[in-house]
Amino acid sequence: MLERLDAMMPANWRGARLDYSDMIVLTKEGIPLVWVPPADVIRQLLTADDAAARAQVVDDCRPAVLSSCKATLTAVTDTQFSEQTALLEECVHMAEHGMFNGAQALAANVWDTLIRGLAYANPGWLRNDQRLSYTKVLENIAPRADAVVQCT
């Protein structure tokens, strides 16, 4: 049963035996952990003493994280996401060349477009013709990290 559960995890978690409850703390700090970064970077983040130490880990592991981003984007084969994939590849390229503000701005734009697309594709998320807002959308999306912890 544990093997089947492990097979359902994101590729960067498989076989890594990570502490999922501690990973929730990292995600609440805004550190994404699904698909990217590699498990060894996640382990370093989990053992870091505080947010400043975790930020240093991200900075120190930037080449591995960006390499992981490239590999993950290469794995996206659904053509309906080809535009977003190309834009995110440009984000990685900018980050590799120290253009962090541009990379972050473009990534935020891709994220905004994704959230809006999901919200409009799922009108039940917007009740009574509510105006689209992140708060309303996020209230209606089940928290995935909590679901993972409950399965372990």
Query: Range with the lowest mean pLDDT among 2-6, 32-36, 137-141?
Result: 137-141
Counting the structural domains of the chain, the total is: 2
In the chain, the percentage of residues whose pLDDT exceeds 90 is: 55
Same domain, residue pair 91 and 143: yes
Both tokens of 142, joined, read 């089940």
Query: Range with the lowest mean pLDDT among 36-50, 92-106, 137-151?
Result: 137-151
Residue span of the structural domain in which 19 resides? 1-75
Same domain, residue pair 71 and 107: no
Question: What is the average pLDDT score of the chain?
Answer: 85
Same domain, residue pair 86 and 148: yes
Same domain, residue pair 110 and 150: yes
- Cα gap 104→94, rounded to integer Å: 9
Same domain, residue pair 2 and 53: yes
Q: What is the pTM assigned to this prediction? A: 0.75
Of 13, 47, 75, which marks where a domain is finished? 75
């900075």: which residue's tokens? Answer: 59
- Cα gap 74→54, rounded to integer Å: 27
Question: Residues near 91 by Cβ (< 8 Å), separated by ≥ 6?
Answer: 69, 103, 104, 106, 107, 110
Of 75, 104, 139, which marks where a domain is finished? 75
- Cα gap 112→55, rounded to integer Å: 24
Residue 83 · residue 67 · CB < 8 Å? no
Same domain, residue pair 22 and 42: yes
Of 56, 75, 94, which marks where a domain is finished? 75
């990292």: which residue's tokens? Answer: 26
Both tokens of 130, joined, read 């509510």
Residue 36 · residue 26 · CB < 8 Å? no
Same domain, residue pair 3 and 71: yes
